[in-house]
A and B are shown apart, each in its own frame.
Chain A
Amino acid sequence: EAGVAQSPRYKIIEKRQSVAFWCNPISGHATLYWYQQILGQGPKLLIQFQNNGVVDDSQLPKDRFSAERLKGVDSTLKIQPAKLEDSAVYLCASSKRENTEAFFGQGTRLTVV
């Protein structure tokens, strides 16, 4: 079974530029998550989708971050404009249902300079 795919693996951008991350979840998984992980900390949920709909985006900085899940499968996370404090690893995860274990992709390491 293929795992969660993310791209790109690494990205370096200047502050105030925009960036987009892509995620393809495990086939058949209804729930998709985007997390931000800063070095030495646990993951912080940015947004959670159940199929096409948003379940929780309470910690998403909506003035600069946006996310969508196309046809309940792939998802993109965008940052515009980026700030220095956005430097982190962005993890995508998926699960069969909301209360089952999540499986993570390798993440995208973003550096904002």
Chain B
Amino acid sequence: EDQVTQSPEALRLQEGESSSLNCSYTVSGLRGLFWYRQDPGKGPEFLFTLYSAGEEKEKERLKATLTKKESFLHITAPKPEDSATYLCAVQGLDSNYQLIWGAGTKLIIKP
């Protein structure tokens, strides 16, 4: 059964303190892995898509990487406005294009 696990559930950092969020997945064959950001009271906002192991993508202070079993979202020198819940989702080759979602990591950046 396809599964996505995100860790930690919550992460508190000081402004400027870099860290990483983890997304571990089990899928028969990966079609794509998606990262989203969700602010309170809003729908998820698309960040990145990764398709194959070794692939990396960057956007401002965020960098996403992918291996055969997990993906990391690295946050460099975060600012308070980076505070949000970060969601990971995978799309398997056998899933009829359905996205399997993790529960998210709630990131809080303190000034």
A interface residues (Cβ-Cβ under 8 A, vs B): 4, 31, 40-45, 48, 55-56, 91, 93, 98-107, 109
Interface check B22, CB cutoff 8 A: no
Interface size on B, residues (CB 8 A): 22
B residues 3-46 near A (Cβ < 8 Å) are: 4, 31-32, 34, 41-46
- Alpha-carbon distance between A41 and B89 when the two chains are bound, in angstroms: 12
Interface check B91, CB cutoff 8 A: yes
A-B pairs with beta carbons under 8 A, tally: 53
B interface residues (Cβ-Cβ under 8 A, vs A): 4, 31-32, 34, 41-46, 49, 87, 89, 91, 96-99, 101-104
Which of A43, A105, A109 has the most chain B CB within a 10 Å cutoff? A43
Chain A, interface SS category: loop
With a cutoff of 8 Å between Cβ atoms, the chain A residues found around residue B32 in the complex are 99
Q: Which of B41, B42, B44, B91 lies in contact with A43, CB distance below 8 A?
A: B44
With a cutoff of 8 Å between Cβ atoms, the chain A residues found around residue B46 in the complex are 101-103
B86 to chain A, nearest CB (A): 11
The answer to whether B98 touches A56, judged by C-beta atoms less than 8 angstroms apart, is yes
